[in-house]
Chain A
Amino acid sequence: MVFDKQNYVPGTHPDLPPPPGTVGIVGWVKNNLFSSLSNSILTILSLYLLYLLIQGGLSWFVVDAVVNANDKPSCRKIGDGACWAVIVKRFDQFIYGFYPLAERWRIDTSFLLLLIAAAPLLYPDIKFRKYMLIFSCLYPFIAFILIKGGVFNLLMIETNLFGGAMLTVIIGVTSIACSLPLGILLALGRQSRLKLVKLLSVCFIEFMRGVPLITLLFVASTMLNYFLPPGTNFNLLIRVIIMMTFFSAAYIAEVIRGGIQAIPKGQYEAADAIGLTYWQTTRFITLPQALKISIPGIVNTFIGLYKDTTLVVIIGLLDPLGIGRAALADTKWNGLSTETYLFVAVIFFISCFAMSRYSLWLEKKLSTDHN
Chain B
Amino acid sequence: MNSKNKKNVIKINEMHKWFGSFHVLKNINLEVSQGERIVICGPSGSGKSTLIRCINRLEVHQQGHISVNDVELSGDLKNLEVIRSDVGMVFQSFNLFPHLSVLENCTLAPIWVRKMPKRDADELAMEYLERVKIPEQAKKFPGQLSGGQQQRVAIARALCMKPKIMLFDEPTSALDPEMIKEVLDTMIELAQTGMTMLVVTHEMGFAKKVADRVIFMDEGEIIEQNTPKLFFTKPTNDRTKLFLSQILNH
Comparing A156-164, A183-191, A250-258, A263-271, the segment that makes contact with chain B is A263-271
What distance in Å separates the Cβ of A340 from its nearest Cβ neighbour in chain B?
Answer: 47
Q: Does A289 contact B (CB under 8 A)?
A: yes
Question: When A280-B112, A285-B97, A288-B99 are in contact, do A275 and B81 touch as well, CB less than 8 Å?
Answer: yes
B99 near A368: Cβ-Cβ < 8 Å: yes
A275 near B95: Cβ-Cβ < 8 Å: no
A274 near B95: Cβ-Cβ < 8 Å: no
CA distance A266 to B150 in the complex (A): 14
What distance in Å separates the Cβ of A7 from its nearest Cβ neighbour in chain B?
Answer: 31
A270 near B99: Cβ-Cβ < 8 Å: no
Question: When A269-B58, A269-B95, A284-B112 are in contact, do A274 and B85 touch as well, CB less than 8 Å?
Answer: yes
Question: When A368-B143, A369-B143, A370-B143 are in contact, do A273 and B89 touch as well, CB less than 8 Å?
Answer: yes
Task: Name the residue on B nearest A369 (C-beta).
Answer: B143
Size of the chain B interface, CB-CB below 8 angstroms: 28
Q: Does B232 contact A (CB under 8 A)?
A: no
Contacts of B157 in A (CB 8 A): 274
What distance in Å separates the Cβ of B105 from its nearest Cβ neighbour in chain A?
Answer: 9
CA distance A264 to B142 in the complex (A): 15
Contacts of B89 in A (CB 8 A): 269-270, 273
B99 near A289: Cβ-Cβ < 8 Å: yes
A266 near B93: Cβ-Cβ < 8 Å: yes
What distance in Å separates the Cβ of B166 from its nearest Cβ neighbour in chain A?
Answer: 11
CA distance A366 to B98 in the complex (A): 11
* Interface set of A (CB-CB < 8 Å, partner B): 264, 266-267, 269-270, 272-277, 280, 284-285, 288-289, 292, 366, 368-371
Please name 17 pairs of A and B residues whose Cβ atoms are closer than 8 Å in the assembled complex, sorted by A.
Answer: A264-B93, A264-B95, A269-B58, A270-B96, A272-B58, A273-B89, A273-B91, A273-B158, A274-B113, A274-B161, A275-B85, A275-B109, A277-B81, A292-B99, A368-B141, A368-B143, A369-B143
* Interface set of B (CB-CB < 8 Å, partner A): 56, 58, 81-82, 84-85, 87-89, 91, 93, 95-100, 108-109, 112-113, 141-144, 157-158, 161
